[in-house]
Structure 1
């Protein structure tokens, strides 16, 4: 697995309030916006900050609680579906627990998750469309 980040996702209670803070308050520019669901902000050459509705976050990643999944994921995006499975296997061999299988997502991508030793979730993702041009280095 290459040493880099593609996405930083924050589970937020109110997407509009988060947008107001980052876009209106800090002056950042939204790259993708889906009302009441997500605001994505390009924060580096290959890095996106995703402000994702807590309910949407929980439906894909799992429940948020002090004993559950921390309410943030770190994403590593790859160029193909096959690479998702390869990286998940690398994580499994490295001792990641749990490691999920790659899954076709309703939004069109293919992803799987693993947990680091502290329980932080890494999403390994293949994203179709224009987002891949930003988060996957040439």
Structure 2
């Protein structure tokens, strides 16, 4: 089996609200849209699929619900610390909760915001070799 991820699927409460955030707000371009699903290319071979929660549960199974933050983040790496702050400011301008950018012990600079369903996005500047690997 190849070592790769092709799709990241998020079950969302309201596809239209997710579209307003990701497409109208962040300016991302849809790859495909249909009733109950929005797909956005987020890498050369990676699609972010935003899928109506009820349809997700019908196909995949019941969604577990708990208090607190989901035990994962999605990351968007940028080339400078200033870009981290700019993206966090954009998220705030769209009415989203966003932390301030912070210097991290591993040498990077990051901050977080939540999408309309509470999924946490890390905006990161990573000056090391791994950080350079993920930049276009």
What TM-score do you get using the length of structure 1 for normalisation? 0.52
Structure 2 unaligned segments of length 5 or more: list them. Answer: 5-42, 47-64
Bigger radius of gyration, 1 or 2?
A: 2
Distance 2:122 2:108 in 1: 12
Aligned to 1:136: 135
Return the offset for 1:132.
2.1
* Moved >3 Å (runs of 4+): 26-29, 44-47
Structure 1 unaligned segments of length 5 or more: list them. Answer: 1-25, 30-43, 48-64
Distance 2:104 2:45 in 1: 22
**Residues 90 and 46 of structure 1: is their aligned pair in 2 closer, same or farther, counting only changes over 3 Å?**
farther
Q: Number of aligned residue pairs: give it.
A: 80
Alignment partner of 2:106: what SS? Answer: coil
Kindly report the root-mean-square deviation, in angstroms, between the aligned alpha carbons of the 2 structures.
2.3
- Could you report, residue by residue, the CA deviation over 1:69-99 in whole angstroms, capped at 9, with x for unpaired residues? 11110100000000000000000001112x1
- Could you report, residue by residue, the CA deviation over 1:54-76 in whole angstroms, capped at 9, with x for unpaired residues? xxxxxxxxxxx821111110100
